[in-house]
Amino acid sequence: MLTTDPASWLVIVAFGVAIGYALLNSSALVRRQEQGVRQFVRENAERLDDIKRRAQELENQIAEGRVKETTPPLYGPRHPVYVIAWGRQNAALPPAPLATLAVGQNDLYPAAYEVATNVPLESFAVTEQTEYPLKLLVGNFDFAFVIVYLYPLLIIALGFNLLTAEKEGGTLSLLLAQPVRLRTLTLAKVAARAALIFGSALLFATIGFFFSEIGWQAEGLAAALLFCLLAVLIYGAFWLGLCVTVNAYLRTSAAAALVLVVGWLVFALLIPSSLNLAATALYPLPSRVEFINARRAADAEARKQSPQLVEQFFAAHPEFQRDANYPELGKQYLGNAAEAEEMARRMQPIRARFEKQLAGQQSLLHHLRFLSPVIVTRDAFHDLAGAGRDRQQEFLSQVSAYQQRWRQFFWPRTFALPPMTVATFDEIPRFAFHEESLRIVCRRLLFDLAILLLPTLTVGWLGLRALRRFFLAG
C-alpha cells in the first residue's frame, strides 16, 4: 500500500525540502532587494538633507550680513544646477508583497534608475547584473520553479503505477477475490494518492508561506494566497488526471512512466521553447548594437544643431520665456535640454519598432499559452509575485512620470538660476512606487485560472472514460 511504501514517503519528504529551500532562497533574495531599496531611499534623503542643511547655513549668513546675496547665486548648495548634480535621486522598485513566490525576470531587469533632467532613463540604470550568466539562463530555484516543474514529477513518481502495480505483481486477482469491487478498489487508490499529493503540497506551501518574507499587510493578500493554493490544486489535478488516463490505457508501469515523462518534457520544455522560437522568428527585435549606434549618431547631430534646437525647444514649451536674460550657465542648460528632446525625438522610431516587436512576441505567447498548462501556471505565479514584465513596465511608467515632475520642477530654475531657498527643498519631488492591489491582480488572473481548468477538466473526463474501460476489462 502507499502508506507503507518508504520510496513514496521519501519522495514526499524531498518535495517538502525542495519547497522549504526554494522559499528560503527567495526570502534571502527579497531581503537583499529590500536592503538595496532602503539604502537608495536613505541615500536619496541624505543627499538632499545635507545640501538643505548647508543651504540653511548660507541663508543664516546672508541674513546676518556676513555673505552677500547674488542672483544667480554662487555655485553651491543654493544653486539649482548644484542641487541637480549633487542631490540626484534614484527611483527604486521595492519587492512585491508575494515576491518570495517567484523571482521570474526580476534578476534581469534593473531595480533602480537614476533620474536626470536631460538624459534618457535607459542610460542611468544604477544596478548592474553580477549573477553568473548560467544561473541567469537556468533561472532561480524558487517556489514557482518547484510547483511548475518538480510538482508534476512528484505526481508522476507517485502515480505512474497507480493501476498497474497490482496487475504486474499478481496481487490484483487476490484482491478481487475479497468482497471488494474493482471500481471501489481503484477509486480508493486514486483518492488516497490524491489526498497524499494535494495534502502534502498544501501543507508544505502553507508552512513555507508562514516562515517566508511575505508582506502580510498588503491589500488583498488573503485572496492572492487563496488563488495560489487553488492554482496548485488545479495544476496538480491535471497531472494526476493524466496519470490515471495513461494507467488505464497501458498495461505496464514502465510504459506508463515513459509516456508520463515524455508528456512532462513536451508540456514543460518542448512547447514553451517552440513558442519562444516562433515568437522570436516572427517578431525579431532590433539589434542592441543598432540602438547604441543610432543614439551616438543622434547625440552627435544634436550637438551640431544646438542653436536651432533651442528655438524648437521654446516653441514646444511656451511656458518658458524666450527672451529672458538667462545667465551663461542657464543658456548652457537650455542647450542641454533642447538636445535631450531632440535625441528623444530621433530615437523614437527605434524605440517604437522595438516596442512593436516586443508587443508582438508577448501577444503571440499570451494567446498560445493555453497549449501548455506549464506556461499558464508559470505566468500566473510570476504575475502574483510581481516578477513579470507587467510590473516592470508599470515601474518604468511611474519612473518616467517622476522624471517629468523632476523636470517641471528644475527646468525653470536651471534656466533662470534663482537661489534655492530652504523652503524650496521641501518641494522637490520624491519617488514612491504605487503598488497595484493584489485583489486586482487576482481578478485579472481569473481568466488564466479558467484556462488552466479547461485542460484539467478535459484530462479528468478522459480519465473517467479510461477508468470505465478499465473496469469493464477487469
Q: Which residues pair with 92 in a beta bridge?
A: 112
Query: Which residue in 84, 91, 44 sits closest to 399, CA to CA?
Result: 91
The proportion of the chain whose per-residue pLDDT surpasses 70, expressed as a percent, equals 89
Query: Which residue in 222, 232, 263 sits closest to 246, CA to CA?
Result: 263
Q: Is the peptide bond before 72 cis (omega within 30 degrees of 0)?
A: yes
pLDDT surpassing 50 at residue 134: no
How confident is residue 193, by pLDDT bands cut at 50, 70 and 90? Answer: confident
pLDDT surpassing 60 at residue 438: yes
pLDDT score at 51: 94
The owner of cell 552627435 is 300
How confident is residue 28, by pLDDT bands cut at 50, 70 and 90? Answer: confident
pLDDT surpassing 80 at residue 445: yes
Rounded-to-integer distance, Cα 221 and Cα 209, Å: 12
pLDDT score at 271: 94
pLDDT score at 336: 81
Q: Which residues pair with 125 in a beta bridge?
A: 113
Most confident of 46-50, 283-287, 305-309, 439-443: 46-50
In 146-273, beta strands by DSSP E: none
- Angle at CA of residue 264, ends 261 and 269, nearest 5°: 125
Rounded-to-integer distance, Cα 331 and Cα 313, Å: 12
pLDDT tens-place string over residues 58-79: 999 988 888 888 888 888 899 9
pLDDT tens-place string over residues 147-179: 999 999 999 998 888 777 666 666 666 666 666
DSSP 125: B
Q: Where are the domains of the chain?
A: 1-271+374-474
Report yes or no: 317 and 265 within 8 Å, Cβ to Cβ: no
pLDDT score at 45: 93
pLDDT score at 136: 45
The owner of cell 501577444 is 363
Tell the burial category of 323 from Cβ atoms under 10 Å away from its Cβ (0-12, 13-18, 19+): exposed
pLDDT score at 74: 84
How confident is residue 49, by pLDDT bands cut at 50, 70 and 90? Answer: very high
pLDDT score at 430: 92
Dihedral in degrees, nearest 10, Cα atoms 227, 229, 230, 236: 140
How confident is residue 180, by pLDDT bands cut at 50, 70 and 90? Answer: low
pLDDT score at 380: 92
How confident is residue 133, by pLDDT bands cut at 50, 70 and 90? Answer: very low
pLDDT score at 177: 65
3-state secondary structure of 45: helix
pLDDT tens-place string over residues 376-435: 999 999 999 988 888 888 998 999 899 989 988 998 888 888 899 999 999 999 999 999
Q: Which residue has the higher pLDDT, 340 or 56?
A: 56
pTM of the model as a whole: 0.84
Cell of 461: 473526463
Average pLDDT of the chain to the nearest whole number? 83
pLDDT tens-place string over residues 95-129: 998 888 888 777 677 888 888 776 666 665 565 54
Rounded-to-integer distance, Cα 281 and Cα 311, Å: 44
